[in-house]
Structure 1
Amino acid sequence: MLVLTRKIGESVLIGGEIEVTLLDIKGDSIRIGVNAPRETRIQRSEIVNAVVAENTAAADTGAGADAADAIVAALARRRDAQP
């Protein structure tokens, strides 16, 4: 990991297309601005990690199999109820 010291208003260039500028410092928080091409995805890591964790938890519950079994059972009951 590269660690740099920047002052308010100073920037860092990444790959010539992405510019990260230090905008403000308040207490233990900083505000940064990111200037990048529109096709570049910029996401907060904690949000990405939360989505991955949620998707993993949903996949691990087996709810999909239970739902499929319920649909099959409902269709079978409907078929059996028809004259």
Structure 2
Amino acid sequence: MLVLTRKLNEAIQIGDEIEVKVLAIDGEQIKLGISAPKNVEIHRQEIYQAIQAENNEAADISTNLLELIKKSDKKY
């Protein structure tokens, strides 16, 4: 993990297209501004993890449904 120190209004650059800038500091909270292309998804970590869990659950349901369909087709 790369650890950087930034002050208010300073930024870091990730590749050619992503910039993360410190917009405000208020006690223990820091507001970050992120500039990135529209095709780059940006989520808070807890939201990203929830999306991944839902996607995994949906994939499992799809797999189970396919297995049920295969079994029911064999009966006919």
Structure 1: which 5+ residue stretches go unaligned?
69-83
In structure 2, distance between residues paired with 1:50 and 1:21: 26
- The match for 1:73 is none
In structure 2, distance between residues paired with 1:17 and 1:11: 13
In structure 2, distance between residues paired with 1:25 and 1:3: 18
In structure 2, distance between residues paired with 1:13 and 1:47: 23
How has the CA–CA distance of structure 1 residues 54 and 36 changed in structure 2, closer, same or farther, with 3 Å as cutoff?
Answer: closer
Aligned residue for 2:25, secondary structure, equals strand
In structure 2, distance between residues paired with 1:49 and 1:38: 20
Map 1:28-39 to 2 at 5 A: 28-39=28-39
- The match for 2:5 is 5
Query: Considering only CA atoms, is the larger Rg found in Structure 1 or Structure 2?
Result: 1
User: How much does 1:52 deviate?
Assistant: 2.9
Could you state the TM-score of these two structures normalised by the residue count of structure 1?
0.62
Structure 2: which 5+ residue stretches go unaligned?
69-76
Amino acid at match of 1:28: E
- The match for 1:17 is 17
Amino acid at match of 2:8: I
- The match for 1:79 is none
Amino acid at match of 2:30: I
Task: Tell me whether 1:42 sits opposite 2:42 in the alignment.
Answer: yes
How many residues of Structure 1 are paired with residues of Structure 2 in the alignment?
67
What's the RMSD between the two structures over aligned residues? 2.5
